Amino acid sequence: MKITRSTIIAGTLIGCFTLATGFMDVYAAQPNGNIGNSSTMSPTTANSVSTTANPPTPATEVPNIIPSNGVIINNDQALLMPPELSNPPISETQAVSIAQSYDNAPGRSVTSVKLTDFTLPGSIPGPGTTVPFRTIKNVPAWVVTFTSPTPVNVSQAPSGFPIYVTHDNLVINAKDGSFLAGFFTK
């Protein structure tokens, strides 16, 4: 599976984070090497991926501390649960280095690195779905957050409204260092 490097062109991320419909789109590596977005993934809800009695806490950004019931980012964009793996094969330093190879935009800095059990709700097939993409559910992962000093317009709509974000979150598999997904938060 090959993921191309992201680059900044006129304030818009191109590559693994090409954003066509808004900041809530999520892009993930697919088995065929393509990048799939949330519009091609099956719809789910936070409750369909949660196995706990308490539903995940809603959040609009990756929190400093992940509560025991987890957090759901931007209404199903990403589910972060406390990690079960405490000493993964890929270290925090390695995860940051890997993430920097995807997001090398000038002026951005790493402001947070969280070990989590990561679920991409849109990758969980609905009943009877035969869409050929991999399910990303409860994968030990590092969420590396890059922050821009000023909001970046990630909208690619020709005459649409701008969509400004400050945080670019890359999810790196904590077992093998592979890119799992990326998502923007305000």
Res 11: pLDDT = 28
User: What value does the mean pLDDT take over residues 83-107?
Assistant: 92
Q: Give the integer Cα–Cα distance in Å for 41 and 84.
A: 26
Burial of 99 (0-12, 13-18, 19+ CB in 10 A): buried
Backbone angles phi, psi at 95, to 5 degrees: -60, -40
Res 75: pLDDT = 83
81 pLDDT tier (thresholds 50, 70, 90): very high
Least confident of 18-22, 106-110, 150-154, 173-177: 18-22
Cα atoms in the 13 Å half-sphere on the side-chain side of 46? 21
pLDDT digits 0-9 by tens, 99-154: 999 987 888 899 999 999 999 998 888 888 877 778 899 999 999 999 999 998 88
pLDDT digits 0-9 by tens, 23-43: 334 444 444 443 344 443 334
Domain boundaries, the chain: 7-185
pTM, two decimal places: 0.71
pLDDT digits 0-9 by tens, 36-80: 444 433 344 333 444 447 899 999 999 999 999 999 998 888 999
* Residue-by-residue DSSP string for 16-64: TT--SS-TT-EEEE-TTS-EEEGGGSPP--HHHH--SSSPPEEESS--S
Specify whether the CB–CB gap between 25 and 40 falls below 8 A. Answer: no
Per-residue HEC secondary structure of 154-168 comes to CCCCCCCCCCEEEEE
* Exposed e or buried b per residue across 123-143, where buried means at least 16 C-beta atoms within 10 angstroms of its C-beta: bbeeeeeeeebbebebbbbbb
Specify whether the CB–CB gap between 59 and 71 falls below 8 A. Answer: yes
Specify whether the CB–CB gap between 13 and 144 falls below 8 A. Answer: no
- Distant-in-sequence, close-in-space partners of 121: CB < 8 Å, separation ≥ 6: 44, 45, 46, 48, 49, 72, 76, 77, 78, 79
3-state secondary structure of 123: helix
